[in-house]
Amino acid sequence: MTQAVTQAPTAALECRDLAKTYYSTDPPTEVVGGIDLDVRQGEFLAVMGASGSGKSTLLYNLSGMDRPTGGRVLLEGRDLTSLDDREMSRVRLTRVGLVFQQAYFLRTLNVRDNILLPALKAASGKRQAAEAAARVDALMERFGIAHVGRHGITQVSGGQLQRASICRALVCEPSVLFADEPTGALNSSMTKEVMDALTDVHSGGATIVMVTHDPACAARADRVVFLRDGRIVDSREFGTWSGEEAGRREDDLITWLRKLGF
Amino acid sequence: MITRALLHLRHVGNDLSRDKGVNLALAAVLVLSAFLMATGAMVMERVVGSVDQLFEEARPPHFLQMHSGDYDPGALESFAERHPDVEAWLIEDMLGYDGAALSWSRASDGESGDFSDSLIDNLFVTQNDGFDLLLDGTGAAPRPSPGEVYVPVAYQQAYDLRAGDELTVETDAGSRGFRIEGFVRDAQMGSSLNASTRVLVSEEDFRELGRAGGGAPEIIAEFRLADPSAAADFQRTYEADDALPKNGQAVTFDMIRLINAVGDGLPAVALVFASLVLIAIAVLSVRFVIHGTLEGEVREIGAMKAVGIPDRSIMGLYLTKYGVMASAACVVGGALAVVATGLLTRGVEANFSQAPPGAATVLVPVAALAAVFVFVMAVCRGVLGRVARMQVVNALVHGSLLDERREARRARRRARRLRPSALGSRRGRAVNRRLALLDLRAERGRWILLPVVFSLAAVLMVLPMNLLSTFASPGFGAYLGVPDSGVRADVRFADDVEAVHADVVEGMRGDDRLTDVRSFGNVLMEAEDADGPVNLRVDVGDHRRAAVEYLEGGRPESGEIALSLLNAERFGVSVGDELVVDGGDGAAPLTVSGVYQDVSSAGYTAKMQGEPPSGADAYVVFADMAGEEAPGDVAAEYEERFPSASVIPMREYIQQTMSYATDALRGAAVLSAVFGLGVALLITSLFLRLVLSRDRGKTGLLSAIGLSSGEIVGQVWLKVLVAAAAGTAIGVVFAATAGESLAGALVASAGLGIGELTFIPDPLIAYAAYPIALMGAALLGTLILTAPLRRADKSSWLGQ
């Protein structure tokens, strides 16, 4: 078994000289090249950039879904790049939550069982399983989907499904929630539902890393980083979100993005 | 038109190169199906053609009657004259020798040996005139010069004999050597099913051998009829005439044909059976692949429909691919079949005649291949019909093959099947098992392919194996109408049959190593059927301790008779009925005590209780082993002590008697096992390739929520294991139950005297090794196909 390098947790998430090159193409394609990034405890970070800039690749390498071809990723001070497959999957199960653009669910389970699944996987005893079930019910109540718990996944709306995704991502109380274009497949009212839910999660103290194309969604973040050709070219602090200054933050963000050629 | 054809072909090329694994596996199954079907058809055509050809050249008799002892040639002559139906007739004189009396010596390596391990009677004859000719390799009827001998091609193959080798006959006057001049094919006695074979010598040598003593003289009265279909009536008339010789077996033309075709046609039947199973598997796989392709390319198909391409053209695009694959498979399978048929029919052509290739030689396999092609294409066309039912918007927007109403109905159905808490109180690893089984249940329409294929593969493997083990089992004696005992002594070819028999019985009864010595005399009697008296061969002796299994009723007591199945059918009697039998001292009614199955003496035998009578044509003595002594050693000792008796272990007797079937079935069983395992591995791989590709999103999700690659792979293993095990179990049970009835019906229809076949399986192979091997094939396929899951970037599975 590989030994994880443990350091004092100065940030929730760090990466140093992170690189990802795909060798299946000829010539090999470097999608992310030498990124250094720190995500503070409780920070809501948005990652923006044009299509193909490497946003999603960065997110999947930070979250432990994929393995970088260079550099290191430290989650709560633990070097993910040194973990084997089982240790990495344990990290994804207990320390990382993921929300995707498409709401991926198992058709064989109803909405509640889908949310409960990771918690039961992580539970080691009956008491923990019961606690997980209670946590699922509380989360579903909090995000307004308790009434569709027994529904099949084809019987609920896209917004409800994405909120169920957020519930599932939070059920094991992860240290960082990663969201890849969580509103990319939703209409405007469903987008608001989902972003309100994520803002709510963040206001509860969660650390969030979100990839998005949508400035209105990115405006909810404390900080936005901008990627071009696999490298961070600029970043901007916006401070804590409050609904009242939404319009101003969005205008500021758009102006900044225009300067970056977005 | 040409542009469209080119477009279709380009599409086929791209499609084939895109998913090489699936296409290769599919092509392999199609090629195998076509290959087996074509080979089966070609072997059948060759066997029938070769038998026909030999029959045309050798002109076997339409009716023959064997006889040993005195007879009246004048009675035969006047019988033939009285019947205008008789085109030609002859009396063939023969001298019968036990295998131990004949030895060979190879000139090439100086090796020598005898035929004592063969049960076949060796009948020395001279060449006939006009009909029933023994033919050499060129189709000519050789007439050996003095000192020369022509031996059957079966001996040539079995003992690797060549022209120039030597054959020595032990006569009462000493050894007599012959130079083997060549080898002969025999239409009447050439089949491996036959109990006798003919050896050709010159007239002078035949007379010399007769004078020297040691051979048992016999004759065959042979008749060629103007109307061969009247042979059965002719036999009846012959047997009704008391003046004619008839203490041996009577055989008609149809029986000779049947014996020839069954002995060598069996592998062809097995091949056709295997090909039918493989075609079923191929068609199921094609269906599955097309479904998978349509699901995977639903948006592309939607787009084609959206721009106005007609359904027929879209279907044509896909149909071309399967047309190309199926026709290529037929061409390759057909070409391989030509090679395989050459190898498989080498023995057939040596035994019979090489039929000149005619229209049927080409048309039969081509028709078989065309049937395979048409069937596969019909199934493809049926599945592709979904393209026409597909709705453009649903295909483009939702990626669904179904229209909105059907989609909604499916969603409702799925929701209804969901349980309030499918995961229950499971946690940790138990969740993985639960997920796998839930998935298997939900996706049963797709996963059903594996159990079906594995059950077919199990049938393909187990059925021929069970048939083989049944025919090869010592317990098969029950079907030979003989008891399952240690050794058997046949006393037939002896100058003084009575004395030798008495000596053998006395020797065995005084031998501590043997116990339970029973003797049976084979007596020719007459019985009345609806049209008058016919010959009936009866084994008279003590049947009380013989372990013969009766289909109905039981062993005969005094005043009773037990009949073989074919005799019971012939006389139209069953247990409890009366049969009038004349044993030489007046006709008397006997009650039928039981009916048993028998393949010996062409299936026409009977049993009566009593002391073995003196004056029987032949005697058989059975004895059980008292201790651990090897039956082979005891038999060899008696064989040496009584050279004119044939003494062998029962096991060997059954083995030799059934060798025509076991030899053919052994090849078929090995081939079937290889094909079964190969197909199981191929289809598991093909299936997993498509399923894993389709389930990439699900796999990505499981990985994202924290399942390790090992756990995801474990779920796949569990699903494959459950599906394959269920299929294998069903297949094995089917082969052991319904398969037994099917095989029984097939064997019964062959008219060999077996009406009801009970498998005597080799449980270690059929019910342990084969299922384990099938599971091994499933797991090997899973191991290969799931290996990439452990290596890939998990995110690549999402969004696809």
Residue A7 has pLDDT above 60, yes or no: no
In this model, does residue B443 exceed pLDDT 70? yes
Inform me whether the C-beta atom of residue A213 falls under 8 Å from chain B C-beta atoms: no
Residues of B within 8 A of A85 (CB-CB) are: 708-710, 790
Closest chain A residue to the Cα of B438, Cα to Cα: A108
String of DSSP letters for A148-164? GTTS-GGGS-HHHHHHH
Which residue of chain B comes nearest to A95, CA vs CA?
B706
Q: Report the largest interatomic distance among the alpha carbons of chain B, rounded to a whole angstrom.
A: 100
B204-221: string of b/e by CB count within 10 Å (b at 16+)?
Answer: ebbeebeebebbbebbbb
pLDDT over 70 (residue A226):
yes
pLDDT at B508 exceeding the cut of 50:
yes
Confidence of residue B273 (pLDDT cuts 50, 70, 90): confident
- How far A235 CA sits from the closest chain B CA (Å)? 26
pLDDT at B191: 65
Question: Model confidence at B264, in pLDDT bands (50, 70, 90)?
Answer: low
Residue to test with chain A: of B705, B786, B800, most A Cβ within 10 A: B705
Q: In terms of pTM, does the model score above 0.80?
A: no
Closest CA of chain A from B421, distance in Å: 7
What is the nearest CA distance from B31 to chain A, expressed in angstroms?
A: 33
The least confident of B220-234, B262-276, B606-620 is: B262-276
Element (H, E) at B380: helix B359-384
Average pLDDT, chain A: 89
Instruction: State the smallest CA–CA distance between residue A124 and chain B in angstroms.
Output: 6
Asked if B676 contacts B774 with a C-beta cutoff of 8 angstroms, the reply is: yes
Which residues of A are less than 8 Å from B701 in CB distance? 104-106
Ranked by mean pLDDT, the top range of A159-168, B194-203, B421-430, B724-733 is B724-733
* Closest residue to B423, CB basis, from A117, A122, A152: A117
Best of B412, B421, B423, B715 to mutate (most A CBs within 10 Å, chain A): B423
Predicted local confidence at residue B334, as pLDDT:
93
- Largest separation between any pair of C-alpha atoms in chain A: 55
Q: Which of A109, A168, A177 to mutate to test the interface with B (most CBs of B within 10 A)?
A: A109
- In this complex, which of A92, A116, A172 lies closest to B423 when CB atoms are compared? A116
**In this model, does residue B196 exceed pLDDT 90?**
no
What SS3 state is found at B579?
Answer: strand
Listed range (A13-17, A201-205, B112-116, B780-784) with the worst mean pLDDT: B112-116
The helix/strand/coil state of A234 is strand
Taking only the tens place, the pLDDT of each residue in B409-420 is 877 777 777 777
Quick check: B700 and A66 CB within 8 A? no
Task: Tell me whether residues A93 and B706 touch, CB distance under 8 A.
Answer: yes
pLDDT band at A211 (very low <50, low <70, confident <90, very high): very high
Compare all CA atoms of chain B with the CA of A98 and give the residue at the minimum distance: B704
Rounded mean pLDDT, B414-435: 77
pLDDT at A5: 41
Give the span between the Cα atoms of B154 and B197, in whole angstroms: 9
Chain B residues with a Cβ under 8 Å from any Cβ in chain A = 411, 414-415, 418-423, 425-428, 431, 435, 438-439, 441-442, 697-698, 700-701, 703-711, 790, 793-796, 798-799
Higher per-residue confidence, B599 vs B165 = B165
With cut-offs at 50, 70 and 90, classify the pLDDT of residue A8: very low
State the smallest CA–CA distance between residue A122 and chain B in angstroms: 6
Lowest mean pLDDT among A101-115, B267-281, B318-332, B342-356: B342-356
What's the rounded mean pLDDT across residues A119-132?
87
The pLDDT value recorded for residue B185 is: 87
- Give pLDDT, residue A217: 93
More confident position, B259 or B111: B111
CA separation for the pair A259, B576 (Å, rounded)? 110
Question: Are B428 and A85 inside 8 Å of each other by CB?
Answer: no
Residue B530 to residues A122, B236, B351, B572: CA-CA distances in angstroms? 85, 11, 39, 9
More confident residue, B362 or B13: B362
Residue ranges of A 169-188 with Cβ closer than 8 A to chain B: 172
The interface pTM score, or ipTM, of the predicted complex is 0.88
Please report, rounded to a whole number, the percentage of residues in chain B having pLDDT higher than 70: 92
What is the model's pLDDT at position B494? 60
Lowest-pLDDT range, B20-34, B216-230, B343-357?
Answer: B343-357
Between B401 and A114, the more confident residue is A114
Residue B274, φ and ψ in degrees, nearest 5: -60, -40
Q: List, as one string, the DSSP characters of B504-535.
A: HHHHHHT-TTEEEEEEEEEEEEEEEETTEEEE
Model confidence at B751: pLDDT above 70: no
Q: Which range among B209-218, B476-485, B756-765, B766-775 shows the weakest confidence by mean pLDDT?
A: B476-485
C-alpha to C-alpha distance for B693 and B18, rounded to whole angstroms: 13
pLDDT of B800 > 60? The answer is no
The string of pLDDT tens digits covering residues B660-670 is 667 767 877 88
- Band the pLDDT of B192: cuts 50, 70, 90: low
**Do A108 and B435 count as a contact with CB atoms less than 8 A apart?**
yes
Distance of CA A109 to the CA centre of its chain: 23
A121 touches chain B (CB under 8 A): yes
**Closest residue on chain B to A149 (Cα):** B420
Name the nearest CA neighbour of B95 among B645, B523, B493. Answer: B493
Q: Sorting pLDDT into bands at 50, 70 and 90, what band is B483?
A: low
Q: Kind and range of the H or E element at B627?
A: none
Set of chain A residues whose Cβ sits within 8 Å of the Cβ of B423: 109, 113, 116-117, 120
* Residues forming a β-bridge with B81: none
Average pLDDT, chain B: 84
Quote the percentage of chain A above a pLDDT of 70.
Answer: 96
Burial label for A16, CB within 10 Å (0-12, 13-18, 19+), is: middle
The amino acid at residue B699 is: T
Query: Average pLDDT of B55-75?
Result: 87
Could you tell me if A116 lies within 8 Å of chain B, comparing CB atoms? Answer: yes
Residue of B nearest to A148 (CA): B420
Residue B298 to residue B562: CA distance in whole angstroms: 70
pLDDT-based confidence at residue B480 (cuts at 50, 70, 90) = low
Q: Look at A152 and B421 and tell me if their CB atoms are within 8 Å.
A: no
pLDDT attached to residue B481: 61
Answer yes or no: is pLDDT of B672 > 70.
yes
Main-chain phi, psi angles of B703, to 5 degrees? -65, -40
Query: Could you report the per-residue pLDDT of B321-373, keeping only the tens digit for each?
Result: 889 999 999 999 999 999 888 887 776 766 666 777 888 888 999 999 999 99
> Percent of chain A, pLDDT > 90?
61
8-state DSSP, B131: S
pLDDT per residue over B702-721, tens digit each?
Answer: 999 999 999 999 999 999 99
Q: Which class is A13-95+174-259 in CATH?
A: alpha beta
Nearest by CB: A152 against B418, B706, B710:
B418
- Would you say residue B769 has pLDDT above 90? yes
CA–CA distance, B509 with B638 (Å, rounded to integer): 13
Please give the DSSP secondary-structure letter assigned to residue A51: T
Query: If contacts are CB pairs under 8 Å, which of residues 64-103 in chain A contact chain B?
Result: 65-67, 85-86, 88-94, 98, 100-102
- Over residues B221-227, the mean pLDDT reads 91
Distance from the A109 Cα atom to the nearest Cα atom in chain B, whole angstroms? 6
Using the predicted structure, report yes or no on whether residue B104 has a pLDDT greater than 80.
yes
Burial status of residue B586 (CB atoms within 10 A of its CB: 0-12, 13-18, 19 or more):
exposed
Mean pLDDT of B236-260: 80
User: What pLDDT, on the 0 to 100 scale, is given for residue B330?
Assistant: 94
Q: How many CB pairs under 8 A join A and B?
A: 123
Spatial separation of the C-alpha atoms in residues B334 and B467, rounded to whole Å:
28
CB contact under 8 A, A121 and B426: no
Chain A hits for B711, Cβ within 8 Å: 89
